[in-house]
């Protein structure tokens, strides 16, 4: 019976992994830096290929809340690390920071903006706290402000710039050049537009000759 339960559990784990693979799902692990011992897990974000997202977060301990209050009172930054798997197998770590006092003033309500490139890979994670971006001096912030994180996740995709059709332009220029060489294209430009490169030097020479012979010009 125990073997059957283990086999069923492994089966569901494999199915879930296959669904994540074929669905193109991306998982982001979130760790925050509250303790001197190192980062601790805050939660996970799952992003599907259609851009929808889901987040699950760990509950804060009383010690975590006190650390947040300490950061806020010292006007320090709250730092979040996002770890994303990559095609090379080497995880990519992205960091974002915001003032801890802003988080507490907003009762731990924040938003995460996840940026994707044109292939759907995560290239940036930014934490945004709504409201004022400055902390008031002497503001009394206590652990009562630190309940649980309420986080919204927003996904934005990079847009490719339009690529100029250089091949068609080159072909058009070549066709026009060949047509001119065969005499199929008539030059409808005016007289000055056709021969300005000959007229302008003559005018400049006349002006220069008049400037260098002022006596002759005065005699006339």
Comparing 49 with 155, the larger pLDDT belongs to 155
Per-residue pLDDT band for 9 (boundaries 50, 70, 90) equals: very low
What is the per-residue pLDDT for 60? 93
d(CA 119, CA 142): 44
d(CA 154, CA 175): 50
**Sign of the CA dihedral running 15, 21, 24, 28:** positive
What is the per-residue pLDDT for 12? 43
pTM: 0.61
Mean pLDDT of the residues in the chain? 79
* Cα within 13 Å of Cα(81), Cβ side: 12
User: How many secondary structure helices (H) and strands (E) does the chain include?
Assistant: 6, 8
- CB neighbourhood size of 159 (10 A): 7
Give yes or no for residue 61 having a pLDDT over 90.
yes
Among 4, 44, 39, 38, which residue's Cα sits nearest to residue 20? 44
What is the per-residue pLDDT for 39? 94
Both structure tokens of 134? 């400055």
- Residues 159/165/167/171 CA torsion (nearest 10 deg): 180
- CB neighbourhood size of 43 (10 A): 17
Rg of the chain in Å (alpha carbons): 35
> Which ranges of 24-123 would DSSP assign to H, the alpha helix?
62-73, 100-105
Lowest mean pLDDT among 28-42, 48-62, 176-190, 199-213: 176-190
d(CA 70, CA 143): 9
Which contacts of 160-163 are long-range, i.e. CB under 8 A and separated by 24 or more positions? 160/118
| Residues whose CB is less than 8 angstroms from the CB of residue 92 and which lie 6 or more positions away in sequence, other chains included | 83, 84, 85, 86, 122
Each residue of 67-108: pLDDT tens digit?
999 999 888 999 999 999 866 678 899 999 999 999 998 899
Each residue of 144-173: pLDDT tens digit?
888 899 999 999 887 766 666 777 777 777
Each residue of 114-146: pLDDT tens digit?
999 888 889 999 999 987 677 766 567 888 888
Give yes or no for residue 17 having a pLDDT over 70.
no
Between CA 186 and CA 194, with CA 189 as vertex, the angle to 5 degrees is: 105
| Mean pLDDT along residues 34-40 | 91
Domain-wise residue ranges, the chain: 25-157
What is the per-residue pLDDT for 14? 42
Contact assessment for residue 115 and residue 124, using Cβ atoms and an 8 Å cutoff: yes
| Mean pLDDT along residues 24-29 | 86
What is the per-residue pLDDT for 80? 96
């Amino acid at each position: 019976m125990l073997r059957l339960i283990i086999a069923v559990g492994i089966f569901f784990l494999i199915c879930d992994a296959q669904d994540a693979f074929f669905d193109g799902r991306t998982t982001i692990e979130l760790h925050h830096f509250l303790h001197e011992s190192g980062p601790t897990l805050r939660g996970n974000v799952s992003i599907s290929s259609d851009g929808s997202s889901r987040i699950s977060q760990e509950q804060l301990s009383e010690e975590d809340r006190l650390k947040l209050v300490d950061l806020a009172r010292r006007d320090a930054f709250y730092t979040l690390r996002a770890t994303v798997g990559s095609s090379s197998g080497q995880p990519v770590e992205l960091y974002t920071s915001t003032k801890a006092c802003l988080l507490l003033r907003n009762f731990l309500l924040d938003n995460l903006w996840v940026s994707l490139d044109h292939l759907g890979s995560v290239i940036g994670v930014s934490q945004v706290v709504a409201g004022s971006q400055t902390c008031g001096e002497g503001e009394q912030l206590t652990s009562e402000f630190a309940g649980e994180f309420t986080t919204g996740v927003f996904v934005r995709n990079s847009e490719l710039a339009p690529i100029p059709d250089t091949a068609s332009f080159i072909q058009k220029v070549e066709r026009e050049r060949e047509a001119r060489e065969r005499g199929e294209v008539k030059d409808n430009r005016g007289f000055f537009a056709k021969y300005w490169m000959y007229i302008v030097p003559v005018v400049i020479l006349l002006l220069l000759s008049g400037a260098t012979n002022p006596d002759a010009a005065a005699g006339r």
